[in-house]
Structures are given as structure tokens and as C-alpha cells.
Structure 1
């Protein structure tokens, strides 16, 4: 049997060679580059908040018949332009016409009774002058005449009322406007006061928005807003707060605010969705999102990004008014610094990163 002897020096050389190969392999491994979201911090003197809403008319009327009836005609549709006094709908007038005829007949009867009572009173007065009648009979005839006069007055009032109710058979617009809603169709029986149509005046339009209670406290009647279309933000106009709800909605904790538009463009049609912008003075200190904060050893840090080196380094900051959403930086950052806003706990000192631009704070 042949034995192979390996000297100690050879083993040492072999180990050194293997170690060198391992280090060379490790050196060739590419450094991990982590993509991060980032923003450039910037202090602000003005703060702009946007609130979604829609265009509504300031003046609108809910129309309904003033008497019971079945609708036999409806002459408009939603979106139609109507003029003052134009017919909207009509109910079957037969019963009302019969009531007018009955009132006319009753008036004719009471007028005949009045003529007879007047003749009787005059005759009794003539007989009294000839001592052929008593004063009691004359007084009775005079009372009958006065009662007949009252009956005629009542019958005339009944006829006027019947004719007025006949006019209720036709529903008319009270002003020039546009039909925004219809709630009854032909053939439907409606009660007095039941909603049939809604007519709005498009000449005075308002943006109606729901504003969070925390913001609405600083808004008063006369506060100014900018308003733009959501479909085309380049179409804008100005508005002034006319009315703000005195208390917040129990479910949403928002207050309904009505903003009167000043000379709105044609695109601000009724029902259009808009965004109302409120510009107020802002806290001049830098505000950063809570996701950018790294807590370590009882201190707060952010990852400052070196754009030239595409790397991050930890920067200690002092915070104030910290919430689950954001915090105010008292010291440690300056305008123009770029920081990572996500993945703060997965980064390391000197980590190579791939930046993703964000909106300035």
C-alpha cells in the first residue's frame, strides 16, 4: 500500500487559498439596494385643505297639489326649463268642476231668496204705514231679509272657494327655473301637500360641503373658499360661506356648509361634484408623517437621504405634538432635507437605496 504524506506547510497554504477564494466570492456579491418612499420636508406658512361637495341651488320649491286627486297630465321631465306660471301637472278636475256648479246653483237660490225677502220686507213696511200690519210682523220680515243677505254672502264665498280649488287642479311653477326632481306619475292619486315636483332656480348656485368639526370651528359666515370642478380642476371660481350648520352630524362629525358661488362658469351645473379649498395660516414648523419616525433607545430618528450617494443615515430629531398620523419637528431637520417615509425599521446606516419621489410636506 502506498502512503501519501502531506506536510504541514502544504495544509496551511491550502487553507489560505480557500479563505482567499471565499473572501473573493463574498466581495463579488452585489450590495442590496432597497427602494424607499421619500419626501422633501418643507415648512409652510399657508395650509390648503380640500373638501368634496356638490353644486345645489340656493332657492328651490317643493311643489304639490293642494287638494286630493288623480294625476291625468304631467307636462315636464327632469331637467326641463320652466317659466313662472308654467303648468307642471294636472289632476282630474271633474269633482272640483261639480263643486263649482253646485256653488253657483246655491248662489242663484240664495239670491232668489234675497229678492223675495226684500219684497216681503218692503210690503210689510207699506202695510205698517197704513196701519194694516204690526211692528212685530215688520221686524220679522226685516230679519228674514238680513238672513237672506247673509246667505248670499256665504254662497258667494263658497263659489269663490270652489273656483279657487278648481284652480288647484293645475300645478304651476312659482318662478323661472329647472325641474330637478319628479315624485309622481300620471295615473297616481296624490293627497293634498304630497310632493310631486321640485323646481330650482339655477341663477344662484351654492357649493354644499361637509367639513370636519375640527376644521369648521374656524369657519364663519363670510369665509372665502376656492371651488373647482372635480372633473376639470382648471375650471375654478370663488365662493363665500353663507351658512354653516350650528352643530355636527352625530354620525360623521361634520358640519354642513353652504358656499355661495360668485359668478360661476357654465361648467358649475346643478348636481356637479366639486372640491372646495380653504386656505388658512399654517404652523411654520416642519411636519413629518409618523411612518418616517424610528424610535430607538428612547430617542426619535429619521433616515436622512443623501441623494448623491443614494444612501441613508440616521438623524436624531426632537418632536412635538406627535400623533398616530404625524408629528412636528422642533429640531434636527431643515427645509430641503429629504427623508424616507416608509420602512424606517428595515433600513440600516449607510444602506443603499433607490429613491421614489413624493410630495413635499
Structure 2
């Protein structure tokens, strides 16, 4: 009786389990495609890429004293324009003055010794001519004269050095420029070579911009750019690309580009915000304006979902982001005219997933 009861039960349990698995497989196979919202992108071929940057000096120097001392005065501040020979700052010259006086005393002493040695040499020479003094006395007198002469030269060199050191107590401007930073205050002790201020030349200016790695790779040195002032777009200038960073920044994935202005325009002051655009047709690339919601960030990359209408599946495509504002984004990437991208539900999709797409509207 136990065997007849166990067998039907085992068969029933097996049937139930088999039915459940079959039902699960059928449910999984019948999973409907995920509905998404998509748009067809169109390149803005008539618009070149614009990049924001600032006006910076091509040449700037850190100025400091060559000797140790306490800062007693500073005649300039940030933003002041300086001219060659203008006094910028001074340190306490007391110790340097004492060094000059000491060197002057050493020179006077050396000159007195020279005069004494010279007179002695004349006397010994006269006595030697009369055969009163011997050759050894004459040689000793000449040696003393030469040593005294060398002592005068050494003392004179020490005095010149002390006077030069005294001149280092005053910091002056070497050329026309503007003070961009100040790093020491009155009363502070400054060491030799310590940066006291930074002065930038105003005759040669550059537009410094950070360009995404993709567009930057297409640029070449010497290419012309159009530069406009963001505060007054009617004010424009031209420039040539001088330097491209050899590698992209690890955080922003952009390369720093420096464009030297062809002419000096007073409106393009240091620190002014500008917009630059390449003027060569080869450098002007097509861009795509898409909803910012279509973009997603993964592992330091900007991605979007490209939809294949034939198979109804999506795949991830990396793009270069140039601008993002007010819910819109401007990109340069692996897209073709007429490509369809997903603009809603991008964070819940997976590679190769089947989707059901609806047409969106780009506003």
C-alpha cells in the first residue's frame, strides 16, 4: 500500500514542477519589447562648433627678490599696469647698506696697503741700485706690491658685489605688463627667489579653450580661428592655433588649445570670456542637437542608445559632448544623418535589448 501511494504522489509532483517550468519559459519567451521614445537626428552641417574660453597672456613671469629681507613696501596691486623701470616693491635695505659700508672700508684698507707696498718697493729699488740692498729684499718688496695690488682688486670686486646686492632691495618692472597676482604682503619675510607677484605681458594675448578630444584630434597647428567676445559678440578678432595639449585631461576628456590673436584688441582684456570657432572648412564638423535626456555617463564616457529599426534592438554608442544647456545637448560622435536614438528610458536599457519605439519631438 505504501508503494502504491508514493508513486502517484511522485508523479504528481513531477508533473506540477514540469508544468511550472514550461509556463516560466513560455512567459519569458513572450516578454514584450520595452516601449521607448526615440527621435531621428539631423546634423547641423551649416554650423561650426563653437567653444568657450578665456583670454590669457602668452608670456607671464613670476617676480621676486634675489636676496633675503623683510618687505617694507609694495607699490602695485592686482590689475595695475606697470612700465619698464617702475618700482614694484622694496625690502628693508639695512643689512645690505652695512655690507656696502664694510666693503668700502675693506677697499680703503687695501688701497692703503697698496700705497705702503708701492713706497717700500721704490725705496728697496733705490737701495738695490746703490748696491745697499740685496736681491732678496728687492724680490720681497715686489711680491708685497703685487699682493697689495691684488688685494685692492679683490676689495673692489667685493664692493661692486655689495652694491649690486643693495640694488636687489628694490624690485622693478622689466617691461610693460599687468599685475595678475600678489603673493606677499608688507611686513612679511621673503626669501631669495620667492614669488612676490606675477606680471603678464599685454602685447601678445591668446585664447585658451578646452576642446573635446574628438574635435581636437582634427585640428592642426596654424589653423585660423574666429574669436568673439561673449559680452559683446559684435567685437571679433582672428587668431591662429599655436599649441594643442598632447593628451586629453583624465577628468574632462578635453585638450587645452591655445590660439594666438593676430592683432591686439583692447576689448579682449585678460580674463575676458570668448567664443572661438574654426574657420577652415576641414575643421568645421557637423554637429547634432539632441535632448540632453538621451545622454548617459558610464565609466567616464558619454553614451547614447542607437536604435536599429530593422531589428528593433538598441546598442550603445560613445559620443563627444560639446555643449549642454536648457535640456539640450550638442554632440559630435559616431552618428549618421537619419540615425534614430532613444531619448527616454535610457537608464533602464541593456545592450541588444528589443524595444518598441515611438516617434518623439525635439523641441
- Is the shorter-chain TM-score for this pair beyond 0.5, marking a shared fold? yes
State the alpha-carbon separation in 2 of the partners of residues 239 and 151 from structure 1: 60
Q: Deviations over 1:88-128 (max 9, x none)?
A: 00000000011001101110000000000000011111111
Q: Work out which of the two has the higher radius of gyration on C-alpha atoms and give 1 or 2.
A: 1
Quote the residue 1:221 is aligned against: 221
Query: 1:43 touches 1:287 (CA, 8 Å); kept in 2?
Result: yes
State the alpha-carbon separation in 2 of the partners of residues 77 and 54 from structure 1: 22
Moved more, 244-253 or 111-120: 244-253
Quote the residue 1:281 is aligned against: 282
Q: Could you say if the C-alpha distance between residues 50 and 122 of structure 1 is closer, same or farther in structure 2, counting changes exceeding 3 Å?
A: same
State the alpha-carbon separation in 1 of the partners of residues 274 and 258 from structure 2: 13
2:299 matched to 1:298? no
State the alpha-carbon separation in 1 of the partners of residues 286 and 81 from structure 2: 53
Query: 2:306 touches 2:316 (CA, 8 Å); kept in 1?
Result: no
Q: Deviations over 1:179-214 (max 9, x none)?
A: 111110100000000001111111211011223333
Q: Could you say if the C-alpha distance between residues 125 and 298 of structure 1 is closer, same or farther in structure 2, counting changes exceeding 3 Å?
A: same
Quote the residue 1:68 is aligned against: 68
Q: Could you say if the C-alpha distance between residues 293 and 108 of structure 1 is closer, same or farther in structure 2, counting changes exceeding 3 Å?
A: closer
Structure 2: state its 5+ residue gaps. Answer: 1-36, 295-303, 320-332, 346-354
Q: Could you say if the C-alpha distance between residues 323 and 151 of structure 1 is closer, same or farther in structure 2, counting changes exceeding 3 Å?
A: same
State the alpha-carbon separation in 2 of the partners of residues 52 and 284 from structure 1: 17
Moved more, 197-206 or 272-281: 272-281
Quote the residue 2:188 is aligned against: 188
Quote the residue 1:323 is aligned against: 317
Q: Could you say if the C-alpha distance between residues 232 and 346 of structure 1 is closer, same or farther in structure 2, counting changes exceeding 3 Å?
A: farther
Q: Deviations over 1:61-80 (max 9, x none)?
A: 21100000000011111111
Q: Could you say if the C-alpha distance between residues 192 and 284 of structure 1 is closer, same or farther in structure 2, counting changes exceeding 3 Å?
A: closer
3-state DSSP class of the match of 1:125? helix
Q: Could you say if the C-alpha distance between residues 68 and 150 of structure 1 is closer, same or farther in structure 2, counting changes exceeding 3 Å?
A: same
Q: Could you say if the C-alpha distance between residues 284 and 197 of structure 1 is closer, same or farther in structure 2, counting changes exceeding 3 Å?
A: closer
Deviation at residue 341 of structure 1 after TM alignment: 7.0
State the alpha-carbon separation in 1 of the partners of residues 141 and 115 from structure 2: 12
Moved more, 240-249 or 177-186: 240-249
State the alpha-carbon separation in 1 of the partners of residues 266 and 119 from structure 2: 72
State the alpha-carbon separation in 2 of the partners of residues 177 and 282 from structure 1: 34
State the alpha-carbon separation in 2 of the partners of residues 228 and 234 from structure 1: 7
Query: 1:88 touches 1:172 (CA, 8 Å); kept in 2?
Result: yes
Deviation at residue 257 of structure 1 after TM alignment: 2.0
Structure 1: state its 5+ residue gaps. Answer: 1-35, 302-320
Query: 1:37 touches 1:340 (CA, 8 Å); kept in 2?
Result: yes
3-state DSSP class of the match of 2:128? helix
1:251-270 to 2 correspondences below 5 Å: 251-270=251-270
State the alpha-carbon separation in 2 of the partners of residues 171 and 63 from structure 1: 8
Deviation at residue 286 of structure 1 after TM alignment: 10
Query: Could you state the TM-score of these two structures normalised by the residue count of structure 1?
Result: 0.71
Deviation at residue 241 of structure 1 after TM alignment: 1.2
Give the RMSD, CA atoms, in angstroms.
Answer: 3.3
Quote the residue 2:42 is aligned against: 41
Query: 1:322 touches 1:328 (CA, 8 Å); kept in 2?
Result: no
Quote the residue 1:234 is aligned against: 234
3-state DSSP class of the match of 1:71? strand
State the alpha-carbon separation in 2 of the partners of residues 103 and 285 from structure 1: 73
Deviation at residue 59 of structure 1 after TM alignment: 1.9
State the alpha-carbon separation in 2 of the partners of residues 111 and 195 from structure 1: 41
Deviation at residue 235 of structure 1 after TM alignment: 2.7
State the alpha-carbon separation in 2 of the partners of residues 342 and 257 from structure 1: 32
Query: 2:76 touches 2:88 (CA, 8 Å); kept in 1?
Result: yes
Q: Could you say if the C-alpha distance between residues 134 and 198 of structure 1 is closer, same or farther in structure 2, counting changes exceeding 3 Å?
A: same
1:311-350 to 2 correspondences below 5 Å: 323-325=317-319, 328-329=335-336, 342-343=343-344
Q: Deviations over 1:231-275 (max 9, x none)?
A: 333332211012223344444443332111122533211011222
Q: Could you say if the C-alpha distance between residues 161 and 340 of structure 1 is closer, same or farther in structure 2, counting changes exceeding 3 Å?
A: closer
Query: Could you state the TM-score of these two structures normalised by the residue count of structure 2?
Result: 0.70
2:50 matched to 1:50? yes
